[in-house]
Amino acid sequence: MTSLTRPLESLGRATIGSLAGMGYAAVLLGESLYFSVAGWRIGQPLRPRAVAEQMRQIGVDALPIVVLLALTIGIMLGIQFIAALSAFGAQSQVVVAVAKSVTREFGALITAILVAGRSGSALAARIGSMSVSQEVDALATMGIEPVRYLAAPALLAMLVMLPALTIFADAVAIGGAALYSSPALNITPSAYVMQTLSLLEPGDVWQGIAKSAVFAVLITLIGVSTGFSVAGGAEGVGRATTRAVVLSICWIIVVDMIFSYFLNR
Amino acid sequence: MNVTAPLIEVEKLEAWYGRRRILNGVDFAVNPGEIRVIMGGSGSGKSTLLRHLLGLHKPRSGTVRLLGVDIARASERQMLDVRRQIGVSFQGGALLTSLSVGDNVALPLREHTNLDEATIRIMSRLKLEVVNLGGFQDLMPAQLSGGMIKRTALARAIAMDPKLLFFDEPSAGLDPVVSAELDELILRLRDALRMTIVVVTHELESAFKIADTITVLDQGDILMTGTVDAVRHSDNERIQDLLNRRPREIQVDADAYLKRLTEEAA
């Protein structure tokens, strides 16, 4: 009997655990937004300085690696599309294929995965180690709401910087594709870029930006909520960090697929 | 609030971790100006009691009133007002590791007052002078010794000149000289700044030195609350065990013992 009930029991436990996690993340989202908008009225103002510091860490510091990866992805897409489309004698379609796939999909996805690895894990590690060493309790007893002090600035910064990084990645990736593809297409890189701009519709870029805003919320909430729920010392912090990255990336990819489905029907 | 009303009033407080009861309906009151030591062995529930006193846990049943405010029913605004008037020094210091010593002490001032930067700097340095850490404001917490961390935490706790100061295990992990210095510091704070101080500790020597009154906690019950002499001369067996470092005599219940060994799901 127990051999039958035990797997069921652990399945039930896991389900309740993940539902509780989602509920907790929703509460964190609500509280962060509340403190951002109305915190000053109850003596818990969001500090612009804290938001700016988070924006630097999440956005500006990620620029070099975003440039490198976006450029690589752009070149890679150029290579693949030229190889695949020339089989049909349709090289001229490379420009539109790269432009649409980068702006709708790859720019947002690559940036989000990168930021999840860089900043989602950093949030989980920072807040996790603060919980372990009672720093979060200390903030609370000092009358500084931990969510206001730690989560809200990160959420706002992420909501601004991830779309900004995505636009940047779009531009760099298309530039990378232009560098590789223009010789193969017998046009100059600037002609390639001009052609891209004339083919792109605002909706393409908006699709990527809308997704990246959703990814921003996902990364922050997963990082912050795993951080706040850390138990079990240094090992717990390590596990939370890993968990934050893995969960964020899984959610990003799944949500991306769902969005793509509904936005392209 | 009149002058003699207790600053902390706890009535019939119960606390649970899962199915385990940690506090069995504790009654507790601390009057203005006294130094109250909460004493008890490991697992006696003193940390849990402290977390309730700090408002970090909401009581499942019973009431906790801090400075006259029932923390289970207080609005966020009221809770914030209470928290501005209490200071807490945690066992491990709980300094924010990303901030320098000076910024840690200045944090409550920056968050809760509209003072200008120069005033905040002077006030935070004054508090560091009080705990004999003048000139250390630019060090990071990672560069401090254990005693210095505790003293910085104390400086941060008194930054807002609280009415009520909580101190969790002041002497844990410190050498006898440093912990004696901390005891002196606590006494001086009470005399100079007229604070009411609650200290949680299991160190007998330090408890007897600083306490006006002692509350002895054992397995979720308050065994007694009284003056140092009353506790010293108590005829309660458990208190004498604690004072004389005698091991507990654990009585084995055969049925419960067998059940614990064989039970599948704890």
Domains within chain B, CATH numbers bracketed: 1-32+40-85+202-266 (3.40.50.300)
What is the widest separation between alpha-carbon atoms in chain A?
A: 73
Q: Bridge-partner residues for A99, per DSSP?
A: none
Q: Which residues of B touch A126 (CB under 8 A)?
A: 98
pLDDT beyond 60 at B2: no
In this complex, do B96 and A130 lie within 8 Å of one another by their Cβ atoms? yes
B111 Cβ under 8 Å from any chain A Cβ: yes
By C-alpha distance, the chain A residue nearest B154 is A138
Angle between helices A152-185 and A63-86 (to 10 degrees): 40
Q: What is the pTM of this model?
A: 0.87
What pLDDT, in 10s, does the model give residues B111-123? 998 899 999 999 9
Most confident of A42-51, A203-212, B194-203, B246-255: A203-212
Given an 8 Å threshold on Cβ–Cβ distance, is B96 in contact with A135?
A: yes
The rounded mean pLDDT for chain B is 87
Chain A contact set for B117 (CB, 8 A): none
The reply to whether residue A133 touches residue B76, judged by beta carbons under 8 angstroms, is: no
* Cβ-defined contact of A133 to B55 (cutoff 8 Å): no
Q: Tell me, what's the ipTM? A: 0.86
Q: Rounded mean pLDDT of B216-242?
A: 85
For chain A, the first-to-last Cα distance in angstroms comes to 48
Domain boundaries, chain A: 26-37+44-263
Answer yes or no: do B94 and A142 touch at CB < 8 A.
Answer: no
Indicate the pLDDT class of residue B236, thresholds 50, 70 and 90.
confident
* Residues B92-109 pLDDT 10s: 889 999 999 999 999 999
The DSSP secondary-structure symbol of B264 reads S
Cα dihedral sign, A47-A48-A54-A58: positive
User: How far, in Å, CA of A96 to CA of A120, rounded?
Assistant: 33
Residue B1 pLDDT class (50, 70, 90 cuts): very low
Taking an 8 Å cut-off on Cβ atoms, the answer to whether A137 and B107 are in contact is no
Helix (H, G, I), strand (E, B) or coil at A247: helix
The order of strands in the sheet holding B20-30 is: B20-30, B8-17, B61-66, B69-70
- pLDDT score, position B3: 53
Helix, strand, coil tally for chain A in percent (to 5): 90, 0, 10
Model pLDDT, residue A44:
87
**Residues of chain A where predicted confidence (pLDDT) is lower than 50:** none
Report whether pLDDT(B69) > 50: yes
E strands in chain A: none
Confidence grade of residue B266 (pLDDT, cut at 50, 70, 90): very low
Query: Which of A141, A145, A149, A228 would you mutate first to test chain B, the one with the most B CBs within 10 A?
Result: A141
Nearest CA in chain B to A6: B265
Q: Do B55 and A141 touch (CB under 8 A)?
A: yes
The per-residue pLDDT for B265 is 60
Q: How many CB pairs under 8 A join A and B?
A: 60
Percent of chain B clearing pLDDT 90 (strictly above)? 29
- Residue B192's pLDDT band, with cuts at 50, 70 and 90, is confident
| Percentage above 70 pLDDT, chain B | 96
